[in-house]
Amino acid sequence: MTITPGAAAPAMFDTVLVANRGEIAVRVMRTLRELGVRSAAVFTDADADARHVTEADTAVRVGSYLSAADLVRAAWAAGAQAVHPGYGFLAENAAFARACTEAGLVFIGPPADAIELMGDKIRAKETVRAAGVPVVPGSSGSGLSDAELADAARELGMPVLLKPSAGGGGKGMRLVRDAAALPEEIAAARREALGSFGDDTLLVERWIDRPRHIEIQVLADGHGTVMHLGERECSLQRRHQKVIEEAPSVLLDPRTRAAMGEAAVQAARSCGYTGAGTVEFIVPGADPSAYYFMEMNTRLQVEHPVTELVTGLDLVAWQVRVACGQPLDFGQQDVTLTGHAIEARICAETARPGDGRVDFLPSAGTVLDLHDPQGPGVRVDSGLARGTEVGTAYDPMLAKVIAHGPDRATALRRLRAALAGTVVLGVDTNTGFLRRLLAHPAVVSGDLDTGLIDRDAATLLPPRVPAEVYAAAALLRQRALEPGPGPDGWTDPFSVPSGFRLGGEPAWTVHHLRVPGQDPVAVRVRDGLVRIGDGEPFEASLSPATEGPGGGPVRLHTGGTVTAFHHAGEWLGREGDSWRVQAYDPVAAALRGAAAGAGADTLTAPMPGTVTVVKAAKGDEVTAGQSLLVVEAMKMEHVITAPHDGTVTEIDVVAGATVAMDQILAVVTPTARPEEAS
């Protein structure tokens, strides 16, 4: 579409197909409603009742979110004139953009040639370098073999970063500090890249220690206008994936901001970009003026809300208007950043201490209870609803909580309070972890880098499950044992689990409980008292009196202290944290362990997922730390290693097998020490 002087503005679309799912689909539909445009959703069988389906004006079933043919047919069936790809899936797939164009549909994004160029990180670096944009030193040329990649890495000097050429989002990225680990890390990076992007081409870059990740939002129309909308600081990451983003960055002064913004504009011009896009830079914290181009994301970013809140612009609306052929009606001089905004990504994952580190493992389950936070300056972008099934087939991000304030300190306080008011029960999330991260002294002061979480994650984990969690769980189970009144309103006192004994001290009712990842605990209850393990008894009771096992708010009274929980099924939650407190049968557990030979020798699945690689067989001699299996969930790999030197005496899975959390995978019998053998 083009605009000629004196001509009427291009007409807005009537219907747009949103070729995505989850929170981004819901967010795009919100803007479409505001524009007066009908939204069409797509869904697979597993997502038939998902929130993005119920919020759309119409919905079409597809076999896969990754099938361009299915999505094009869905757009035709819905009567759509355009397709918004969101992010992830086919958002940066040039073939999909071309398929839309060939089918007479408008792709709400940049031209396919721009996607193709910037999607190849090797070509992208060469293109922007020619445009005068500084780039990170690294390998050049595509199609390097494993040996050539390893040689390039050694030539650059360790440490290096392995990166997929075909995609971003942290998937397939590997930081390698030891040259001896290159062969295994290259193989793992190729597997992840192939699984995530369908292309296992890798490049290698010099690693900059204690770097900051700063990106520039660009916006371009089809009439030659390209501008930037300021920066976002995205340095708080785990597994090279962002979890906290903010705008603006405390690192940049106005001069550096303008220079980086102009570099981003030149990068966008170099590939003929239109629509909303992001140019990412790696910045040495000690010298912000020495910034380097990393890559360009040719789509809307997950963290776009922080830019929207500080600029007052709706980026999705401008994506749609630009796709209609409308020009940008403001200039660079009109872009101002007001206040500060910070975003937290709520992900389906659990943090568990590992060998000197913290592993962030995908989780799954059914959302039993859900409450979004409220408050001044708070925004929630979510694809969740009660009853949502969270599986391991898709990215673990469930929702985003964003806070805006007149300054950074206010935005931080508002976001911490919003996370404390966020309730998701039925699936483990990182909400409580993020709340503690935002109170970290370095985060509060703005002294950030991409390695902060890896270094300090262990200090952000609660040392143990709070005693009041076990007390509340035991009292809820005790209440569930109490009989209701009979037809005449009378309750048989001998059926009440009070522990009453004729002429003796009341007996304790024992509840054996276990939180996954923790040791089991025996909690004793009787007549208003609770005793946890070998601790001293203390007074404890619950309110409201009508609360039962079905769920809802509940308050625990312990002496003069009242602790409020949200409750649903086996789950308890408060201030962003949640715990699944399960009944534990010590006799049955002992029998299972004996049958399986369970103990320190037994390797279990740390998360529900799929076994992608099996590197050992029964009878193999292995050494401590040796990789035995790889389990994948939500496009992330977790390597299962030998706990000690020994022999693989059992291995119960094959590549392609689906496994449940804590399922036994293998048993490694330790090698006898000389004194034991004698």
Q: pLDDT tens digit string along 383-401?
A: 999 999 998 888 899 999 9
The whole-model pTM stands at 0.84
| Cβ-contact 450, 235 below 8 angstroms | yes
CA angle 566, 570, 576 (to 5 degrees): 40
- Identify the pLDDT of residue 550: 53
**Least confident interval from 104-108, 149-153, 257-261, 623-627:** 623-627
Average pLDDT of the segment spanning 474-489: 75
Average pLDDT over every residue of 156-169: 83
Q: Residues 6 or more apart from 651 whose CB is under 8 A from it?
A: 614, 616, 617, 618, 628, 629, 665, 666, 667
Please state which of the ranges 67-76, 513-522, 604-613 shows the lowest mean pLDDT.
Answer: 604-613
**Least confident stretch, 99-108, 260-269, 320-329, 609-618:** 609-618
Answer whether residue 359 shows pLDDT above 60: yes
Decide if pLDDT at 627 tops 70.
yes
Dihedral sign for Cα 266, 270, 276, 281, please: negative
SS3 content of the chain, % helix, strand, coil (to 5): 30, 30, 40
Q: What is the mean pLDDT of residues 443-465?
A: 93
Whether the pLDDT of residue 7 is over 60: the answer is: no
Tokens of 258: 């303008």
Angstrom CA distances, 30 to 21, 38, 317, 318, 418, stand at: 13, 10, 10, 14, 21
| pLDDT confidence of residue 39 | 98
For the packed helices 304-311 and 315-323, what is the interaxial angle rounded to 10 degrees? 100
So what's the pLDDT on residue 678? 43
- DSSP, res 342: E
- Beta carbons of 562 and 556 less than 8 angstroms apart: yes
> Using CA atoms, how far apart are residues 356 and 535, in angstroms rounded to an integer?
30
* Omega of the bond leading into 487 within 30 degrees of 0 (cis): no
More confident residue, 491 or 409: 409
Band the pLDDT of 640: cuts 50, 70, 90: confident
SS (H, E, C) 57-104: CEEEECCCCCCHHHHHHHHHHHCCCEEECCCCCCCCCHHHHHHHHHCC
Summarize the confidence of residues 598-613 as an average pLDDT: 78
Element (DSSP H or E) covering residue 318: helix 315-323
Quote the pLDDT of residue 547: 47
The residues, any chain, with a CB within 8 Å of residue 339's CB and separated by 6 or more, are 309, 310, 404, 405, 406, 407, 411
18 with 56: CB under 8 angstroms? yes
pLDDT in tens, 116-131: 999 988 899 999 999 9
Phi, psi for 110 (deg, rounded to 5): -75, 170
Which one has a higher pLDDT value, 425 or 198? 425
Mean pLDDT of 444-449: 96
| b/e sequence 243-278, b meaning 16+ C-beta within 10 Å | bbbbbbbebbeeebbeebbebbbbbbebbebbbbbb
What pLDDT score does 102 carry? 97
Which of 45-54, 248-257, 442-451, 609-618 has the lowest average pLDDT?
A: 609-618
pLDDT band at 351 (very low <50, low <70, confident <90, very high): confident
Contact 457, 238 (CB under 8 A): yes
3-state secondary structure of 417: helix
Rounded percentage of the chain residues whose pLDDT exceeds 90: 64
Query: Mean per-residue pLDDT for 214-226?
Result: 97
| CA distance from start to end of the chain | 85
Identity of the residue numbered 345: R
- Report whether pLDDT(576) > 90: yes
Q: Higher confidence at residue 641 or residue 499?
A: 641
Task: Kindly report the backbone phi and psi dihedral angles of residue 232, in degrees, each rounded to the nearest multiple of 5, phi listed first.
Answer: -130, 135
Structure tokens at 183: 């062969």
What lies within 8 Å, CB to CB, of 665 at 6+ separation is: 603, 604, 605, 611, 629, 631, 640, 651, 652, 653, 659
Residue 356, pLDDT > 70, answer no
